[in-house]
Amino acid sequence: MQNRFGIKDFLVLLLLLAILSTQWLAMIQRDRQWPLLQTVADQVRSLEERLAALDARIGQGALTTAGTTASSQSTAAPPVAPASSASWAREGVPISWQPEPGFASDPTKVPGFRVGGEWVEVFEGQPQKLTPYLYADVYGNRVVDRVCESMGTFDPKTMQLVGALADAWQIDPDGEWIRVHINERAKFSDGSPVTSEDVRWTYEDFILNPAIDADRSRSTLADILDKVEVIDDLTVEFKFKDALFTNILIALGEPILPKRYYAQFEAAQINQGTGLLMGSGPYMLEQRVATPADLAAQWTPGQDVVLVRNSNWWVGRAPLERQRFRIIKDDLARLVAYDNNEASMVLPTSPQFNALLRDRADFEKTNYALKWVNMRSGYSFIAWQCGPRGETGRMTPFVDVRVRKAMTLLLDREKMIRDIWDGIGMVAKGPFNPESPASDPSLSPLAFDPAGAALLLTAAGWEDRNKDGVLENAKGEKFEFEYTYATGGEISERIARFVSDAYRKAGIEVTTRPIDWARYQDLLKSRDFDAITLAWSANSPESDPRQTFHSESMAKGRDNFSQWSSPEADMLIEKGRRTMDPETRMLVWHELERTIAEGQPYTFIRVAPWLRLIKRNFGNVRMYKTGLSPEEYFFAGSTSSIKPGT
């Protein structure tokens, strides 16, 4: 009889398959234990090494009472170093000694302080790379900031430039060089000291190396930096091509990389790598790659980014054991994850922020709802075409300063912020961040004043001559313009509607022109717009205004796309850029701010404050002028919550 495939055979086959697949799964299970064991073994080894070192030091009797802990020494007066230690310096130029780095506010002094715990932040998009200088998004930047340190940093409370890796520097009064002395205690997370050779290598052989894909940093640096010279083990001197105040920010602001670590990789490995990250900061990447042999183990996009405390951090000890960055792309899902306690901090949208505070009475008992303007708050604006428009060369009505001023007066920006951003934000008055010393606190933004605007427009020749509700000039041409904005955001759609309504009411015809973001830059470069809306972001208290407001940047392709030219502003910008003394420079910027307000090349709309929701079971959460400092937070326990007000 023919042997047919029956139910019994089927069952036997199924059983066989089940046995095989369990075997296979068990093998994977086993396999997964190996890397874990490896990490544990590594940790034990490093602990042993540290213990042995400690032992040796005890044996030598070199243990003093209290080591250098990271207390709030930054508030103390800058220490004056003994004269003998200034041998590294150039003669005749004053040395600026920097305070010992430390926490801006000491977490150990806050009640409820504990060590350990995990901090979870949420990214709205997928970071592609964590390698310093090669990352292409803000998320990479946020991770690198916690792992790497630069020579100097901005003091969270005063926004002054203070030393991080550097403990002193000398600045050439003419601005052509700056000599920096590295703190002798500074060391990278692998325990090796930070030396002047690391600094030189980072600038000359990493950023300026054409084989490394750090194009953006390189093009900025190549224009400015002449060379980096090693003076001794801890001293470097930067020489610049031109004397500008931004030199100092560039010399002191770039993260310093350990040469010993990065030099072992080929340029191609660095370019293709996704997680080659090592520095001297409070945290280090959990998935570290020690040698080119284990490149396959590096962090890749799609995984959470996990940082662990750098136990070798030379400044002190960060209270939190781990920092994790999760990726959640959807607005609602982010908030739900935060609510579910799957995240410690989240960036809400303005309506979400207000709705939570309004609808949940006890929200602030368990959460910090933070809203503040800091040096990283950017501003949004409408740029008016003050020169000939791109392709056609046609002159827009905005050539006349009176018209530009009237355009600002016609826009009720307070109402705009109320309607569009749910009341969150403040009216911007100029290109400088209102928290920055570069901005003059006595200057206030132009008020909403339609009557004043009408007077200005009449003076400029724009009147409703034929009583059709639309303004005309003496030649009988209608006042009309095109408003360009980027597609894809609800907010920009609403701004466009608000703006066109406001101007139509005043008798100005507005056509809106939505443009794909990928094309926006092209449009800016070719000046092919009448009015365009955009926002600038910031990451330091002052930036060089030359790019956006100097008449030399008016040439096509540069960033003065509104083609505004003012001899007075040019003069002030040149003067400010070459003033090395911060205080004098700030006065120049104040004057420039006024000049720009007079000229109104932009209608400044809104300074966007930071919005953050943070769980109250984290302590020492403070709003700083530089942003947030999660390296000084501590976890008070899953059930406890820090009382409001502390």
Partner 1 sequence: MLPYISRRLLFMIPTLIGMTLMVYTLIALAPGGFSASASAAAGGGSPAGGDPRIAEAKFRDRFLLDEPVLVQYGRWLARVFPIKFGERAQIDATGERIYPPAALPETMMVGSWGGDDPGRAVRVACDMTRSAFVAAAEGPERQAQYRALSREAKAGREAFVGALTQLRIALAEYATATKQGALVDRRGELQAPQLDHLVVDESASTWAAVRMAADTATATYARAAGARAALEASFESRPFTQAGIGILPGILSVGAPDLGWSRTKNRPVGSLIMEALPVTLLINVVAFPLIYLVSIPTGMLAAARRGSLFDVISGGVFIALWSIPVVWAGVLAVGFLASNQYLGLFPVAGLHSAESSSMAFLPGWGPSGFSRGWLLDLGWHLVLPVVCLVYAGFAVLSRQTRAAMLDNLNADYVRTAKAKGVPRHDIILRHVFRNSLLPLITMFVSIFPAMLAGSVIVEKIFSVPGMGSLMLEAISLHDAEIMLANTVMIGCVSLMALLLADILYALADPRVSYA
Closer residue to partner 1, CB minimum distance, 101 or 609: 609
Closer residue to partner 1, CB minimum distance, 213 or 435: 213
By CB under 8 A, residue 213 contacts partner 1: yes
By CB under 8 A, residue 563 contacts partner 1: no
Residue 506 is given by DSSP the state T
**Binding map of partner 1 across residues 102-141, x = CB under 8 A, - = no contact:** ----------------x-x-----x-xx----xxx-----
d(CA 633, CA 319): 7
d(CA 503, CA 523): 23
Q: Which of 517, 581, 644, 646 binds partner 1 (CB under 8 A)?
A: 517
Q: Among residue numbers 45 through 104, which ones bind partner 1 (CB under 8 A)?
A: none
Closer residue to partner 1, CB minimum distance, 458 or 539: 539
Residue 574 is given by DSSP the state H
Q: Among residue numbers 466 through 505, which ones bind partner 1 (CB under 8 A)?
A: 488
Closer residue to partner 1, CB minimum distance, 543 or 579: 543
Please state the closest distance from residue 526 (CB atom) to partner 1, in A.
4
Closer residue to partner 1, CB minimum distance, 301 or 582: 301
Q: Which of 48, 49, 215, 468 binds partner 1 (CB under 8 A)?
A: 215
Q: How far is CA 465 from the centre of its chain?
A: 51
Query: Please, are residues 603 and 411 in contact by the beta-carbon 8 Å criterion?
Result: yes
Sign of the torsion formed by the C-alpha atoms of 339, 345, 346 and 352: positive
By CB under 8 A, residue 357 contacts partner 1: no
Count of positions (residues) in the chain: 646
Please state the closest distance from residue 7 (CB atom) to partner 1, in A.
14
Q: Among residue numbers 431 through 450, which ones bind partner 1 (CB under 8 A)?
A: none
Phi, psi dihedral angles at 457 (to 5 degrees) = -65, -40
Please state the closest distance from residue 12 (CB atom) to partner 1, in A.
22
d(CA 184, CA 167): 8
- What lies within 8 Å, CB to CB, of 75 at 6+ separation is 157
Please state the closest distance from residue 83 (CB atom) to partner 1, in A.
38
Q: Among residue numbers 378 through 397, which ones bind partner 1 (CB under 8 A)?
A: 378, 390-391
Q: Which of 526, 553, 562 is nearest to 398 (CA)?
A: 562
Q: Which of 310, 336, 334, 339 is nearest to 323 (CA)?
A: 310
Query: Can you tell me whether residue 434 is helix, strand or coil?
Result: coil
Q: Which of 419, 493, 544, 574 binds partner 1 (CB under 8 A)?
A: 544
**Binding map of partner 1 across residues 187-206, x = CB under 8 A, - = no contact:** --------------------
Q: How many CA atoms lie within 13 A of 415 on its CB side?
A: 11
Among the residue ranges 452-460, 461-469, 534-542, 586-594, the one whose residues contact partner 1 (CB under 8 A)? 534-542
Q: Among residue numbers 234 through 273, which ones bind partner 1 (CB under 8 A)?
A: 246, 266-269, 271-272
Closer residue to partner 1, CB minimum distance, 91 or 359: 359
By CB under 8 A, residue 578 contacts partner 1: no
By CB under 8 A, residue 6 contacts partner 1: no
- What lies within 8 Å, CB to CB, of 332 at 6+ separation is none
Closer residue to partner 1, CB minimum distance, 506 or 538: 538
By CB under 8 A, residue 521 contacts partner 1: yes
Please state the closest distance from residue 33 (CB atom) to partner 1, in A.
8
In sequence order, which ranges of 154-213 are alpha helices (DSSP H)?
Answer: 196-200
Q: Which of 558, 575, 578, 622 binds partner 1 (CB under 8 A)?
A: 558
d(CA 430, CA 450): 21
Neighbours of 391 (CB within 10 A): 9
Please state the closest distance from residue 329 (CB atom) to partner 1, in A.
5
Q: Which of 1, 7, 36, 293 binds partner 1 (CB under 8 A)?
A: 36
Distances (CA, A) of 405 to 353, 446, 532, 554, 603: 34, 9, 16, 21, 8
Q: Identity (one letter) of the amino acid at 146? A: R
Among the residue ranges 5-13, 214-222, 436-444, 630-638, the one whose residues contact partner 1 (CB under 8 A)? 214-222
By CB under 8 A, residue 339 contacts partner 1: yes
Q: Which of 294, 295, 246 is nearest to 270 (CA)?
A: 295
Judged on CB neighbours under 10 Å (0-12, 13-18, 19+), 41 is exposed
Please state the closest distance from residue 556 (CB atom) to partner 1, in A.
3
By CB under 8 A, residue 43 contacts partner 1: no
Total interface residues for partner 1 by CB under 8 A: 80
Q: Among residue numbers 295 through 334, which ones bind partner 1 (CB under 8 A)?
A: 300-302, 304, 324, 326-330, 332-334
CA dihedral 135, 141, 147, 151 (to 10 degrees): 100
Distances (CA, A) of 382 to 71, 428, 538, 594, 606: 45, 11, 17, 18, 10
